Structure 1
């Protein structure tokens, strides 16, 4: 399980432990650092309950995505304008045995690009090797990486085997 990092020092450890005992069903442990308290829980249900409780209480904390909830996103290039998202999803499922979590059409001025979100088992290498054609059209795949810069711009980095492109969009 990913740790839950609670910002700030704990002033009353006994009260914190009592609160956690009322939320966490399994075992848990704490680690105190200079500026944070790190909580370790043993199962996903406890992790979810603690995070929900902290959100409700508007506590300052952060955690990481659980392994089961992670995903990979890929950019699909080469399909004709007007291609329907449902057609892409059906083709991936029926012909290539890939169940996408979501497919989105990206806004571009030229040929359409599609963002395909899959589970983490699907890799760029797998897609390039096994899904070269979709809807009888030769396609290419690129890794999609999203970052947020300090100026509240959203940077999208498209990585292919030949090059890396950085596209910055204004404040959202």
Structure 2
């Protein structure tokens, strides 16, 4: 692990383009928070969730939704079970948690092999 981190640091410092797998401690989990009103802000939500023992990396509000829906990114330790047990209410409102499923897909060009350079179907 020590050698792996040294190599990653060296590649980053020299601004080489590279790809590697994330280590367990670098991984994050995404959850969807539903049920809050329009007056809730991401900072208020983050503060309250962190007070309940969840390590939050970031919170973003989804756009183009009828009701406010937030994507909560946590560290690798949180699961859907742990987050639903720790946080049942936010701003005195009973909330609902779901797993976040990223529906973005990357395409690879069949000519040059670059990612996101292919013809969109």
Give the root-mean-square deviation of aligned CA atoms.
2.3
Question: 4+ residue stretches of structure 1 with deviation over 2 A?
Answer: 45-48, 50-54, 149-152
Alignment TM-score, normalising by the size of structure 2:
0.76
Instruction: Return the index of the structure with the highest Cα Rg.
Output: 1
The C-alpha deviation readout for 1:1-50, integer Å capped at 9, x for no partner, is 4xxxxxxxxxxxxxxxxxxxxxxxxxxxxxxxxxxxxxxx7241332213
Q: Distance in 2 between matches of 1:69 and 1:97?
A: 19
Answer whether contact 1:89 1:99 (CA < 8 A) is retained: no
**Of the two structures, which has the highest relative contact order with CA contacts closer than 8 Å and spacing of 6 or more?**
2
Aligned length: 109
For structure 2, list consecutive stretches of 5 or more residues without a partner in the other structure.
Answer: 109-115
Alignment TM-score, normalising by the size of structure 1:
0.55
For structure 1, list consecutive stretches of 5 or more residues without a partner in the other structure.
Answer: 2-40, 153-170
* More strand as a share of residues: 1
Question: Does the alignment pair 1:123 with 2:84?
Answer: no
Q: Distance in 1 between matches of 2:53 and 2:19?
A: 35
